[in-house]
Amino acid sequence: MTKVLVIEDNANLAFGLTRSLESEGYDVEAAEDGVRGFELARNGAPDLVVLDLMLPGMDGYTILKRLRAEGKDVPVLILTARGEEADKVFGFRLGADDYVTKPFSLSELLARVQAILRRAKGGDKHGDEDRAVEQFGEVTIDTRARSVKRSASDIALTPKEFDLLLALVRRRGAVVSRLELLKEVWGHQAEVMTRTVDIHIAELRRKLESDPSTPRHILTVWKAGYRLQA
């Protein structure tokens, strides 16, 4: 059974989330403070963590940062009342997989949970048809090791940044819309938070382009989407 860990200090909300997720067939464990939540995320082997940011004991950002620093790649869905774009960018930089802002509908949250788990369990649908190594400019991508180098230096990408980069590379110069990228990388079936794509594109440019303000490779196509130019 798929295991979901909910780290949320609002008891009523945690109870509602637990019951809703259980009704969908998930095995749910809940923690009401950051310290306990971190220990469960670290040692309990959940398939997904639903993580509030404002927590007693240890905030959500610290939990996420420590999990990623220890090499834990469990998918994390941030759940918070903080909706500023800077907060979202910071969460994604730390390795969050998705972001839901309170108030939210349970149907939206469940759809996000299903999408993240589908992506996590589906593996690489392109399989052996893809080349093991892709390259553009000074960037080299090892698709099997999920590693990226720029001018022989290792570049740390979050799981979603890596998936987004591969989605662009696989098109080999073709334009990809934001909605296509949302569906392929995040699993969304409709236009849900398309700024998510823009935020991750900005992060890829920051890490991979010589001049992120004037990118040579990860290009915006006005009113259409993005494409990668070798």
pLDDT surpassing 70 at residue 214: yes
User: What is the rounded CA–CA span in Å between residue 34 and residue 56?
Assistant: 6
Task: Indicate the range of 48-57, 126-135, 168-177 predicted with least confidence.
Answer: 126-135
Residue 166, C-beta contacts closer than 8 angstroms, at least 6 positions apart: 134, 141, 143
Between CA 68 and CA 96 the distance in angstroms is 9
3-class SS at 208?
A: helix
Q: What is the pTM of this model?
A: 0.66
Confidence of residue 201 (pLDDT cuts 50, 70, 90): very high
CB 182 within 8 A of CB 188: yes
d(CA 20, CA 97): 21
Q: What are the helix (H) ranges across 24-59?
A: 34-43
Question: Which domains are delineated in the chain?
Answer: 3-122 (3.40.50.2300), 127-228 (1.10.10.10)
CA distances 34 to 3, 13, 118, 221, Å, are: 18, 16, 27, 42
- The string of pLDDT tens digits covering residues 42-99 is 999 999 999 999 999 999 999 999 999 898 889 999 987 776 777 778 888 888 888 8
What pLDDT score does 129 carry? 44
Q: What is the pLDDT of residue 128?
A: 41
Residue 70, CA distances (Å) to 33, 64, 95, 98, 210 in order = 20, 10, 12, 20, 29
Residue among 82, 1, 103 nearest 48 (CA): 1
* Three-class secondary structure of residue 47 per DSSP: coil
Question: CA–CA separation, 147 vs 26, rounded Å?
Answer: 32
Residue 188 has a pLDDT of 62
- H helices then E strands: how many in the chain? 8, 11
CA-to-CA dists, residue 16 to 12, 19, 20, 82, 225, angstroms: 6, 5, 6, 20, 38
- Residue with the bigger pLDDT between 118 and 202: it is 202
